[in-house]
Amino acid sequence: MQGVGPRIAPDPPKDDSIILTARDVTVRFGPVIALNGFTADIPRGVIGLLGPNGAGKSTFIKASLGLIPRDGGAISVGGLDPQTQSLRIRDDIGYMPEHDCLIPTVSAVELVSYLAQISGMGRRDAMQRSHEVLDFVGIGEERYRLVKSYSTGMKQKVKIAQAIVHDPALLFLDEPTSGMDPNGREEMLDLVRRIGATGKTIIVSSHILQEVERVCEHAIIISDGRLVRDGKMGALMAGEEGLFSITVRGDAKDLERFARAFGEACGLVSKTDEGSRQIVLSARGCGDGKRVFALAKEHGVQVRSYIPDKMSLEDVFLQAFQGGGSGGH
Ligand SMILES: Nc1ncnc2c1ncn2[C@@H]1O[C@H](COP(=O)(O)OP(=O)(O)OP(=O)(O)O)[C@@H](O)[C@H]1O
Ligand SMILES: [Mg+2]
């Protein structure tokens, strides 16, 4: 757009190249350790930053923007250090804070165009751009009313509009659906998807797993100021070696023997008895299934289905907190 500052990514490629790295980052607020050796490599795309209340999500975002100082470790955003190059970085970053950040006594169009001017645009361009982004987020004629008369949903949309007005390559959205009703949430998630589709990298924090599951390509799970797990959404939900579900039918004794052999061969995760001589087994690492079919034949049971099984992000989350996380604590 108006070409202020360096571009973090002139034409962001849709691949896994890393846009942000954090190494052993520590941030303290008095006795509270908000980030405690947080390490992550964040690729381009739509990235979910997940964690329970107080996990350190907002602190990580603010440290990445250079809004709060680090007590240790390093952060690089497109090769720049937010602590020492915060102004340069912010030229190409959009930020939607968690809490209310809008001036209540001006209209949305005035507010957004004012912020566009601060980012370096001329008055006329700023006004035009303000209308464009307010159109994009779905604020209609209400844009001429004072912000203080807006619903929470409208305020959230204006917060996104101000974050994208200078056409940044990287966007931090801190709990964008917070305080919204189900329809508002849908609209907001759709907005996140549409912005992501324009090639921008979006780091979106949330503690609502289903939301992240639906819009993000990659997730970072944080707890107690540490990374507990991260990866592509598909890989996270498939488990590291791939999870499979097999439904077999046969006599009870044969099923029992098969389940034991199958468990030994493939690493049984769960077994469900469906009655009517049928069980469903879930396992990791059984490859293309040749072995499974051979075992079934050997034990005289019939394979009804053999399909890759997906965990929900909730399963991943729970597993991470039961000590399965890569960060471990
Ligand atoms: N300005 C501050 N002063 C003192 N403590 C703080 C401050 N900001 C954050 N903390 C503390 O640091 C920890 C991490 O907070 P942070 O806001 O980063 O968590 P979060 O993951 O964003 O949580 P939430 O989901 O509630 O927004 C919490 O224990 C919080 O109370
Ligand atoms: Mg927060």
Asked if pLDDT for residue 7 goes beyond 60, the answer is no
Find out whether the beta carbon of 69 lies less than 6 Å from any atom of ligand 1: no
What predicted TM-score, i.e. pTM, was given to this entire model?
Answer: 0.77
Class level of CATH domain 240-310: alpha beta
In three-state secondary structure terms, 275 is strand
Residue 270: count other Cβ atoms within 10 Å of its Cβ: 11
Summarize pLDDT for 58-107 with one digit per residue, the tens. 999 999 999 999 999 999 998 899 999 888 888 899 999 998 888 999 99
Is ligand 1 within 6 A of the CB of residue 118?
no
Does 240-310 match 18-92+168-237 at the fold level?
no
CA proximity to 209, closest of 318, 308, 328: 318
Phi, psi (deg, nearest 5) at residue 144: -90, -10
Best mutation site among 57, 209, 221 for ligand 1 pocket (most ligand atoms within 8 Å of CB): 57
pLDDT tens for residues 137-148?
A: 999 999 999 999
Q: What is the pLDDT averaged over residues 208-231?
A: 89
Q: Which CATH number fits domain 18-92+168-237: 3.40.50.150, 2.40.50.100, 3.40.50.300, 3.30.70.260?
A: 3.40.50.300
Torsion from C-alpha of 288, 291, 296, 298, nearest 10 degrees: 160
Q: Domain map of the chain by residue range?
A: 18-92+168-237, 240-310
- Residue 246 C-alpha to ligand 2 middle, in angstroms? 41
Which residue is closest in CA terms to ligand 1's atom 6?
Answer: 29
Judge whether residue 11 has pLDDT over 60: no
**Residue 208 is which amino acid?**
I
Report yes or no: 167 and 12 within 8 Å, Cβ to Cβ. no
The residues, ordered by sequence, that sit 6+ positions from 99 with a Cβ below 8 Å of its Cβ are: none
Q: Compute the distance from residue 319 Cα to the ligand 1 centre, in Å.
A: 24
Find all residues with CB under 8 Å of 180, minimum gap 6, and list them. Answer: 152, 153, 156, 188
Residue with tokens 């979910």: 48
